[in-house]
């Protein structure tokens, strides 16, 4: 049974970039930075592609909110195999509720069976959009979908997938990461899933995929055209680097170490 899945592709700073706070202290220096698709979103795209392949095809619609620069991330998801992209054109600050609002309107319009989002974006690590969205849509939600092993070996791949749909698409089973282990949820559909790091290892965008992505459609909206108030309810007042780590010390013997752990670190 073909399935329609909505996924996201937030544009974030490459984790290999060196991030610096700007002179005003209210943001980062963007010049010279490289940008990528949020790795958790990329895992979501991969999971959506695997689910559609398994269920006899369907559609994977990818959404990103931002300036025209986000086309790069949309194209990446299209090159991986997503069928259609939606660009919500917006310049300026955004808060989590605006994004969730835009996604809500798009989901009401596109009517997917399932939405898969990254659990958070690696830029501000908010971890809110998925939860807001499920609540507002009245959908069931399964956050932090995950697997036991961190890297997918061939053996790992052949094990039970962490996200499994019933054949009639009425329910979904999701293995999720919780403190101290994994838990398995069964949810009714439609459902919203957010991905954790260990869920899968995203495929490469193949060269034919990249070439094909050029002719796939990118539909344009704005928060206003979706009826969403884009005024940010959050203002960043100050940004600073975490304090530099202090150099370690050498202790002469075990007794001195135990003493330090007791008196200074107070862990014993």
Partner 1 sequence: MNFSLTDDLKALQETARKFAREVMRPKAAHYDETSQFPREIIQQAWELGLINMTIPQAVGGIELSHVAQAVIAEELAWGCSGMATSMIANDLALLPIVLAGTKEQKEKFLKPFTEKFLLASFGLTEPGAGSDVAGMRCTARREGDHYVVNGQKQWITNGEYADQFTLFCSTDPAKKHKGIMCLVVQGRPKGLTVGKHENKMGQRASNTVTLTFEDVKVPVENRIGQEGEGFLIAMNTLDNSRPLTAMFAVGNARAAMEHAIDYAKQRQQFGKPIADFQGIQFMLADMASEIHAARLLTWESAWKLDAGERNTLVSSYAKRFAADMAMKATTDAVQIFGGYGYSREYPVEKLMRDAKLIQIYEGTSQVQRLVIARELLKGG
Nearer Cβ to partner 1 (167/207): 207
Q: In the bound complex, what is the minimum distance in angstroms from residue 125's beta carbon to partner 1? A: 24
Residues 49 and 203: their CA atoms lie apart, in Å, by 10
Helix 39-54 to helix 71-80 angle (10° resolution) is 30
Nearer Cβ to partner 1 (185/197): 197
Site for partner 1 in 67-86 (CB under 8 A): 71-72, 75-76, 79
Q: In the bound complex, what is the minimum distance in angstroms from residue 71's beta carbon to partner 1? A: 7
Q: Which residues contact 157 (CB under 8 A, 6 or more apart)?
A: none
Site for partner 1 in 177-216 (CB under 8 A): 204-211, 213-214
Contact yes or no for 113/5 (Cβ under 8 A): yes
Residue 11 touching partner 1 (CB under 8 A): no
Nearer Cβ to partner 1 (93/209): 209
Q: What number of chain residues touch partner 1 (CB under 8 A)?
A: 15
- Nearest by Cα to 140 from 190, 176, 213: 190
Nearer Cβ to partner 1 (77/191): 77
Nearer Cβ to partner 1 (59/72): 72
Q: In the bound complex, what is the minimum distance in angstroms from residue 60's beta carbon to partner 1? A: 18
Residue 176's Cβ-count burial label (10 Å; 0-12, 13-18, 19+) is: buried
Q: In the bound complex, what is the minimum distance in angstroms from residue 73's beta carbon to partner 1? A: 11
Phi, psi of 25 (to 5 degrees): 75, 20
Q: In the bound complex, what is the minimum distance in angstroms from residue 203's beta carbon to partner 1? A: 9
Q: Which residues pair with 114 in a beta bridge?
A: 5, 191
Question: The tokens of 6 are what?
Answer: 């909505």
Residue 10 touching partner 1 (CB under 8 A): no
**Parallel/antiparallel/unpaired status of strands 3-8 and 58-66:** parallel
Query: Where on the chain is the footprint of partner 1 (CB under 8 A)?
Result: 71-72, 75-76, 79, 204-211, 213-214
């Amino acid at each position: 049974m073909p399935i329609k899945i909505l996924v996201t592709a937030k544009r974030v700073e490459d984790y290999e970039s060196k991030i610096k706070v700007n002179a005003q202290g209210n943001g980062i220096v963007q010049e010279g930075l490289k940008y990528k698709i949020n790795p958790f979103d990329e895992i979501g795209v991969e999971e959506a592609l695997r689910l559609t392949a398994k269920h006899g095809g369907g559609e994977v619609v990818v959404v990103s909110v931002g300036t025209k620069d986000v086309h790069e991330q949309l194209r990446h998801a299209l090159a991986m195999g997503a069928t259609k992209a939606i660009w919500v054109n917006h310049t300026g600050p955004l808060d989590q509720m605006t994004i969730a609002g835009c996604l809500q309107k798009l989901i009401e319009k596109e009517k997917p069976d399932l939405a898969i989002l990254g659990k958070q974006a690696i830029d501000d690590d908010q971890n809110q959009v998925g939860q807001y969205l499920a609540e507002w849509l009245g959908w069931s939600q399964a956050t932090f979908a995950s697997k036991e092993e961190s890297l997918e070996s061939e053996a790992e791949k052949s094990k039970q997938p962490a996200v499994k749909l019933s054949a009639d698409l009425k329910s979904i089973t999701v293995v999720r990461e919780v403190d101290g282990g994994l838990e398995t949820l069964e949810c009714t559909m439609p459902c919203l899933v957010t991905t954790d790091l260990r869920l899968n290892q995203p495929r490469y965008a193949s060269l034919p995929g990249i070439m094909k992505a050029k002719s796939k459609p990118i539909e344009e909206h704005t928060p206003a055209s979706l009826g969403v108030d884009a005024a940010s309810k959050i203002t960043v007042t100050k940004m600073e680097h975490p304090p530099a780590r202090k150099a370690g010390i050498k202790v002469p013997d075990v007794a001195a170490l135990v003493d330090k752990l007791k008196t200074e670190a107070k862990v014993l």
